Amino acid sequence: MFNIKIKDLLVGFIITSILLIILQVLSTAVLPIFGLMKYRLPFNILIILFLAFKLESPFLAIFILIFQYIYSFFSVEGWAMGVFAGILVSMIVGYLKDIIHFSSVFLTVLVTEIFQVVWFIIVSILIYLQVGNWDYIFEKLSRFAVESIVISLLAPLLFAFLDRVWKINDQDGGHSFRGGR
């Protein structure tokens, strides 16, 4: 069913990992220069959403784990909650994949924002179960609103780049891996 070559998956994975590291270093270094100490753009979510939307691979859960682990070097929140949220969001996307299309920039931004909200809700519930207090979640909500809007606005650009990296075939709905064709 899938025409996936391990070599192509590996190349896409390595380039995306390097991109995630570069974007997180820039986010961690540049935002504080402008006085935005508490803000960190979660490019990991954007990358995982891209893979959930467009990559049909049995390795998706492993990619989510590794990208969340890479992201954990830049965050105090750890990787486990992100892996859980990423896999749940990917499962939801999998069920809705046939009705999700990125035919315009606006739709890409909107769909990305909706799934970031779902991600936030999942992680917030996990944090609440861990701490038993909503204070941190409400504090995080104010930062999330700004960060998610910025990430959603960047989604069309990053998705276009990642389409090339992962060699996504747009002729069949925009969500299948082309392999080495």
* pTM score: 0.86
Phi/psi region, residue 39 (left: phi>0; alpha: psi -120 to 50; beta: rest), is beta
Is residue 29 a contact partner of residue 138, using CB atoms and an 8 Å limit? no
What are 168's strand-pairing partners? 177
How many other CB atoms are found less than 10 A from the CB of residue 18? 11
Sequence-distant (≥ 6) Cβ neighbours of residue 48 within 8 angstroms? 63, 64, 67, 68, 86, 89, 90
Rounded distance between C-alpha atoms, residue 15 and residue 17, angstroms: 5
**One-letter amino acid of 97:** K
pLDDT of residue 3: 52
Rounded distance between C-alpha atoms, residue 15 and residue 125, angstroms: 32
Rounded distance between C-alpha atoms, residue 99 and residue 109, angstroms: 16
pLDDT of residue 170: 55
**Tokens for 125?**
């519930």
pLDDT of residue 177: 45
**Tokens for 116?**
């970031």
pLDDT of residue 175: 44
Phi/psi region, residue 41 (left: phi>0; alpha: psi -120 to 50; beta: rest), is beta
Rounded distance between C-alpha atoms, residue 92 and residue 89, angstroms: 5
Q: pLDDT tens digits, the chain, 181 residues: what are they?
A: 345 678 888 999 999 999 999 999 998 888 888 888 888 889 999 999 999 998 888 899 999 999 999 998 887 777 889 999 999 999 999 999 888 877 889 999 999 999 999 999 999 999 889 888 888 888 888 889 999 999 999 999 999 999 999 987 654 444 444 444 3
pLDDT of residue 24: 92
